[in-house]
Copies of this chain bind each other. A is one copy, B any other.
Amino acid sequence: MRGQALKGHLDLLLLAILADGARHGYAIIDELRERSDEAFDLPEGTVYPALHRLQKGGFLSSEWTEVQGRRRRTYRLTEQGRGALGEQRVAWNNFTEAMSRVLKGAAWPDTP
């Protein structure tokens, strides 16, 4: 996927993944890749800072766990995060609808 498409929509993706249950960062990356059919193959440098930002904003909580010698930081949605997910879903729907209205008006270059 071309790079900057998900600008501004990454938070929604992360919140949506975590709405299905608490996960650690690496697992979130995996699941994003799988659910999107490889479309979203996000680098760690994208996801980890975003998770930190969301936690700082109060949308996520986290705790350290240790699994077979490997430390993991497991994130889960807060109440506020659940609310934000709902809002961002609505915003996403509004956005795509506005996009379609604009795109619908335009002539298709490939179809005469």
Contact = CB atoms under 8 A, between A and B. Distances in A.
A67 interface: no
A89 B5 CA distance: 12
Q: Identify whether the interface residues of A are mostly helix, strand, loop, or mixed.
A: helix
A50 interface: no
A43 interface: no
27 contacts: A1-B95, A1-B98, A2-B91, A5-B8, A6-B8, A7-B7, A12-B99, A13-B103, A16-B105, A17-B102, A17-B106, A19-B109, A20-B105, A20-B107, A36-B98, A36-B102, A37-B101, A39-B95, A39-B97, A39-B98, A40-B98, A83-B109, A85-B109, A86-B108, A86-B110, A89-B108, A92-B99
